[in-house]
Structure 1
């Protein structure tokens, strides 16, 4: 039932002042808010509008939008066919068009209203009669006569007549002289681009040919009656040549105009696509508009639904950007931000302003307001089309950036949730063994009534200590990893002696190291690097514990430190079973573990090496793993070397 009570009305727009009445009639047919109201303007590719007609068209479009119409603008040579197509697309049941009752008869084609009556079915066609006396209104600005075009036409006809005299004296046939005049008419149409000059020159060429080259010469009479047909054919051909040439030039100008618009939009689109933030998009778009229109531009950002102070882009020598800081101008910008409509100078809203303001918006969001200082000037129709197209490009790019930011935030959120899920799963599984061991050993010791020997007690104490140390290292790794993931870690970089850092890390390593041979080789006793010592100690603890965990008793672990150019390199080498090539590229990923037997039988969570990589990269270094021949692995990471400056005065002392 709702579909039957809803109308879909479409009105055809034109650059005629009477079109306002047609739009008003169409709007009056709307019965309720559910009715659809469309306005269609079809630009004829064969005709270029004058500035006055374009200005009137803009007013008609603005009026249609004010009445709630959805405006569509297309270009086509088949105007009636486009109306028919859009009426079917929008499922229009009422079509409103205007008809000039003073319009001349159509000899070679059906009028649009007749075509629609013959072809449209199931649509009510409402023809609104209007009276308009506009004989020359449709002519382009190029139809205005100028002194230059008149002089050019007279000169070309004079030259054609002189050449005709030469041909006449040489005894050439009349057809050759006729061709000279036709060429002259063609040149006049080509050079002057003026339809009045073209038509008048067509008639003048026939008169000149009759006056100078038909017997009796120097008179407008003729003896041979066949010349009458010659004159008629000549004037028809000359008229067709001039008319066709004028149409070709208008079409070429229209295509050149479209090509220029496309070039500007393509250039702007390429510039905007390279920008990665909202501020960059607005800065690029405003600079482009300032360069194109040579006018002062202001951009009013909108943050948290509130308009902010403008960012100014002065262009002229005597910049008027201070006008944008005026309370009245800011008030107009706020009105545009709230209503989403353009306002200010030369518009129907707040026209007392010295600038015109446009909202950069999509269907559901306003990103900002752009102001263009006009003073006492106006924006031409071509400039308005460029402006609206660039604003549309900016809105599309802004929408893409916002969409990408939302996608990235969603991806980061999913990764964080995945990290938490993996973390909880690993913790719940891997903490069970050491906690059960600590609980069991402590229970045995608490319930001991002096039956356990000292060596058994010491073994239980050692197990509790090792399990507790494992848990402490795990918690330290978890805290550091979560801090790095959240970006809350702030490095405290200071010069540190490498030997002291290695000694500090060895003092925290598991007691199992007593069954390993750990060798420390430092190339220079005063080898220093810039680091956050607390974090680098944790890296070394993880690497050394990792080497202890995956090697047998009496194995040798080497810690080497040396400097190459501006970097200090620290190596942790073991002679265990080594790491397979397939695991080397993944071993630094979170929760990735290598399937080797572990000495203490506790499963690794796969956080230690991932944490090492994050810490080293935060210092600007690189960590890697390679084979240690004949067996084992070598973990190497780099740190920036400390630059030591020597005071020469102190050396002399």
Structure 2
């Protein structure tokens, strides 16, 4: 006997007892027996409305007839009816109660049915809105669980093949129902309790399958009682909404996968083209310079030898930085770049940058802002030097030969902002949003020698983000471009 049936019986018995006690109270005031009958009519109507069981109402009617006859008709405390009119009255009373109770129960059932339908339609509408904005399988499943819980006061769980993990706290051992789950997903049919297949099971299995490769089931606990027709229809409708959302998400995932594959192939091609260019140019210089030195060593003066050796050194440094950029980008993409953070003196870093970049300046002028204070920045010095070197090298590549490049910095309460400023023509507005992307090299009209691999600015952004800072580019008021980035400041030491 389930809990609801026990509750209905207890409510019926309690109502009959209370109505009889109330009838005794009415009798003490010498009220007519017809009034006592009205008390019983009201109690039976209450029983039918509350329990929604016509059978309980009719059974209560028979019981109350005997109670009324025993306690309130002459001779009292017997089941003998002395007045034949009471027999007709009681029969009419029973028939009237049965008709009224049936009509009341039917009306109540229709009202509740309409109310439940309205609630379920509202839930389905709300669920559809939420699923429309769900972006992941986990979010879709969370929304579905939330709305199923609102209409089912019972255990349930989802089981999918591959696309989602099973619930951590399952109310059953899924491994025991592999055959039944396979049947539901293979034939797209509900099985389990009171269904045509596996009717003996204490569960009901709803299939969740599509042609997009989605395969799973909803398993509902029906051990105590089966699902109502309305619950079953709601579950099927809500699962259809969820399936549409899962298919949409899978389609989006497939499209993103295809886009990434295309992008990967594009990046591979760009990388191969750029590597061949960036290696070929310095190698040509190295080969030409070393060959000329070897063949004409005794024929050229010392100044020319020094210039040739300087060119060889510059191209070697360029290749070294090129390889370092590639290695760092590989480490960043694999999340393997280790930061060796400590307080570094900014003047030492700027001095190192100046030393590294001098041989590449040509006619460009580099101005480094000098400050009297000894300022520190919490950073990986090697990587910060690489960022500043890349930014200056980028300015050299994309500005006129006599442009001025300036490095400055200023402190705030939380961080230090560095700026690399040039006056060499600025950046085309349409290129500002993409200059930090991989393998993007802006055409400046300076010829093939300035193209480069297009990784320098991308690496700068990745390194600054790894430090917890930000980097941006914008055109300035002097006709050039300004690259600025922030890094955390840990301490300040000033001259005493």
TM-score by length of 2: 0.67
Greater length-normalized contact order (CA 8 Å, ≥ 6 residues apart): 2
Cα distance in 2, alignment partners of residues 586 and 451 from structure 1: 50
Once structures 1 and 2 are overlaid, which stretch shifts more, 612-621 or 459-468?
612-621
Equivalent-residue separation in structure 2 for 1:272 and 1:577 (angstroms): 50
| Contact 1:570 1:638 (8 Å CA) reproduced | yes
Work out the CA distance in 1 between the residues paired with 2:260 and 2:174: 43
2:122 equivalent to 1:263: yes
Cα distance in 1, alignment partners of residues 451 and 352 from structure 2 = 26
Residues 277 and 452 in structure 2, CA contact (< 8 A), matched pair in contact too: no
> How much does 1:636 deviate?
1.2
What is the match of residue 527 of structure 1? 376
Flag the 1:540–1:354 CA change in 2: closer, same or farther, 3 A.
same
The 1:504/1:193 distance shift into structure 2, 3 A limit, reads: farther
Q: CA separation of 1:142/1:271 partners in 2, compared to 1, >3 Å: closer, same or farther?
A: same
Matched, 1:382 2:230: yes
**Counterpart residue number, 2:151:** 292
Q: Cα offset for 1:269?
A: 1.9
Determine if the alignment matches structure 1 residue 494 to structure 2 residue 494: no
The structure with the largest helix share of the pair is 2
DSSP 3-state at the match of 1:559:
strand
Deviation at 1:379, TM superposition (A): 1.1
Classify the secondary structure of the residue corresponding to 1:357.
Answer: strand
CA distance in 1, matches of 2:211, 2:423: 66
| Shift in alpha-carbon separation, 1:366–1:430, aligned structure 2, 3 A | closer
Structure 2 residue 318 is matched with structure 1 residue 459: no
Correspondences of 1:139-154 after superposition (within 5 Å): none
CA distance in 2, matches of 1:494, 1:289: 51
Contact 1:441 1:464 in 2 (8 A): yes
**1:419 CA displacement:** 1.8
- Cα RMSD, aligned residues only: 4.0
CA distance in 1, matches of 2:351, 2:300: 37
Q: 2:353 — aligned with what?
A: 505
Report 1:511-550 matches (<5 A): 511-513=359-361, 516-522=365-371, 524-529=373-378, 531-549=379-397
- How far apart, in 1, do the equivalents of 2:219 and 2:299 lie? 92
> Residues 303-452 of structure 1: matches in 2 within 5 Å?
303=162, 310-312=167-169, 321=171, 324-325=172-173, 328=176, 332-333=180-181, 336=184, 340-363=188-211, 365-448=213-296, 450-452=298-300
* Number of the residue aligned with 2:416: 568
- Quote the Cα distance in structure 2 between the aligned partners of 1:634 and 1:364: 50
Instruction: Give yes or no for contact 1:505–1:537 (8 Å, CA) kept in 2.
Output: yes
Of the three residues 467, 471, 492, the one matched with 1:619 is 467
Contact (CA 8 Å) 2:203, 2:222: kept in 1 or not?
Answer: yes
Paired residues of 2:422 and 2:482 also in contact (CA < 8 A): yes
2: CA distance between counterparts of 1:471 and 1:337?
59
Check whether the contact 1:527–1:562 (CA below 8 A) recurs between aligned residues. Answer: no
Q: Which runs of structure 2 are paired with 1:35-184 in the superposition (5 Å)?
A: none
Q: Which runs of 5+ in 1 are unaligned?
A: 1-140, 151-190, 198-245, 314-320, 645-653
The structure-2 alpha-carbon separation of the partners of 1:294 and 1:477, relative to structure 1 and needing over 3 Å to count, comes to same
Corresponding residue of 2:76: none
TM-score, normalising length: structure 1: 0.53
